[in-house]
Amino acid sequence: MGKQTKYIIVSGGVISGIGKGIIASSTGLLLKTLGLTVTSIKIDTYQNIDAGTLSPLDHGEVFVLDDGGEADLDLGNYERYLNVTLTRANNITTGKIYREVIDKERRGDYLGKTVQVVPHVTNAVQDWIERVSHTPISGTDRVPDVCIVELGGTVGDIESAPFIEAMRQFQFRVGHDNFCLIHVSLVPVVGAVGEPKTKPTQASVRDLRGLGLSPDILACRSAQPFEDGIREKLSMFCQVAPHQIFSVHDCESLYHIPVLLRQQGILDVLTKRLQLGQLDIPSEIAHEGEQLWAQWREFARRHTRSLDRATIAVVGKYTDLADSYASVVKALEHAALNVNRKIQINWVEASDLEEATMHKDPLKYHEAWQRMCASDGILVPGGFGERGVEGMILAAKWAREHKLPYLGICLGMQVAVIEFARNMCGMANAFSAEFDKDCEMPAVVFMPEIDPTTMGGTMRLGSRPTKFQDTEFARACMIKQLYGGEDEVHERHRHRYEVNPKIVDDLESKGLHFVGRDAETGERMEILELADHPYFVAAQYHPEYITRPLSPSPPFLGLLLAASKQLDAYLAGQDLVTEAETKLKM
């Protein structure tokens, strides 16, 4: 019999968006510092099969995994904090579970029984969790010691009821010593005197206990640290020991949450509750854990230091909700702190840069241009649909003409190509077939292998290899140097359209070089770099998906280095750390 995996369930109460994902990720990180192997599962209670067809403005960023799975943005947090590569199986949705159950019923697997929520749906949830928790971590042969399961939604939601019941049953399936429940709740501070209120958490725990689950740990979100007596009061009414109640108050950054939890003793609680001391951890892996914690503390410390700022204008379509670009924000933060800078993001709604806005709302138009022009660099991220595209093209034009560092991602690469084709190659009518199927000069075309009618899961998705070209320019280009001189890189994609290969020769003859192409055919443009420019780089893939706090994405690293006037020194091999401190692994 193989080893018994330990399970930590993270639930949430009172309000949605309470921070379950960060608590789950931080807990996993702390367990990794002990040398444990950790994996994570996110349960989303919506009926969709996956997040691929959800609007970023409705649900935040769609995070793409190596295997092409489109998932909730929390899986991005897991990968970044735990430094693991997850798969679509690590994201459970109601739609996936019901599809699995119905497929079994159609095959006759239930032998004529009436198919019900209990036991068939709840068993399917439990079986899925066990199956994933026994799968070795990608790139290793290590079976997870601990599996952290985040239960989406809020206790009491009708959508989460089958999953709550599945977890109630699951605690008996795996045994008391292998099951720990962390409940994340809210202790609001109200009134002129700022009095913290415990009643919402009491009610949330009461609801949870009524459903058959008793929390082992309370993680209480609040604007300020616990005052005297609050922990004891919560303990009395929630039946959780005082030392198992944690104050998760507002910090300078989310990177401080693991430090906060460790200082309050969460590892001692988990070690005792799950008998982690009985696990056999090889000494070299334990040492890796110690090094990880030293690196993480230094990374968090840099957030508190007085560093020079680098300002990046993010010119996008979904800027009303920052979570739409969650991975882009994290990639900028990681790159900035690794080059000893603090990032300041100037959000610019792309449509506000367009001439139509100048006539409709001149103030908004001029403010948008002022924010972009005052920035040290410009980033144009991915997106779908025609709204704001002309504004993105104007942003690319400004960066090219004014030698401002520029990074384009997916659509950001396509608008850079359109702009260059129009203004440098004489193709005045250049546009994308995505926005005008009958355009005279399609600089961007629909990929022939993509299904034009079905939306969900039909894009070019997941990790694909990109090969740097063997040309004089490509061999010495900045982006290849930032990738460490590698001839081939693997990055994650999410697109239906690509640069028209028929116009590539014209573009390159004017100085826009496609230094990276897909390794499968060599005909799909993946990376471009503009000659005679401090930093003008764009990629068809999404480099933000595999950024890590201690290992920033190379295209983002280049943008921050260029924006802070350090790129030349970095490429020349000079050390960016100028004071006695722990150097982060790059």
User: Contact, 248 vs 261, CB < 8 A?
Assistant: yes
Q: Is 189 exposed, middle or buried (0-12, 13-18, 19+ CB in 10 A)?
A: middle
DSSP state of 413: H
Question: In degrees, to the nearest 5, what angle opens at C-alpha 293 toward C-alphas 287 and 297?
Answer: 150
Give the E-state strand segments of 475-565 in sequence order. Answer: 488-495, 497-499, 512-518, 525-530, 536-539
Give rounded-to-5 percent helix, strand, coil for the chain: 40, 20, 35
User: Contact, 201 vs 185, CB < 8 A?
Assistant: yes
Question: In degrees, to the nearest 5, what angle opens at C-alpha 425 toward C-alphas 421 and 427?
Answer: 60
DSSP state of 487: S
Neighbours of 81 (CB within 10 A): 27
Count, residues in the chain: 586
Query: Of 505, 501, 493, 497, nearest to 522 (Cα)?
Result: 501
User: Contact, 346 vs 376, CB < 8 A?
Assistant: no
User: Read out DSSP for 460-481?
Assistant: EEEEEEEEE--SHHHHH-HHHH
CA 108 to chain centre: 39
User: Contact, 339 vs 377, CB < 8 A?
Assistant: no
Alpha helices in 468-578 (DSSP H): 472-476, 478-482, 504-509, 554-563, 567-571
| Positive or negative: CA dihedral 278, 281, 283, 287 | negative
Helices (H) and strands (E) in the chain, counts: 21, 23
523 is catalytic: no
Q: Is 326 exposed, middle or buried (0-12, 13-18, 19+ CB in 10 A)?
A: buried
* Residue tagged active-site, from 147, 180, 410, 425: 410
User: Contact, 185 vs 44, CB < 8 A?
Assistant: no
Q: What Å distances lie between residue 573 and 423, 480, 481, 568, CA to CA?
A: 36, 14, 11, 9
Neighbours of 217 (CB within 10 A): 24
542 is catalytic: yes
Q: How far apart are CA 130 and CA 293, in angstroms?
A: 29
Task: For tokens 């995996």, name the residue.
Answer: 5
Residues 399, 401, 402, 407: what is their CA dihedral angle, to the nearest 10 degrees?
20
Q: How far apart are CA 211 and CA 412, in angstroms?
A: 48
* Residue tagged active-site, from 256, 334, 495, 542: 542
User: Contact, 377 vs 346, CB < 8 A?
Assistant: no
Residues with a known catalytic role: 410, 542, 544
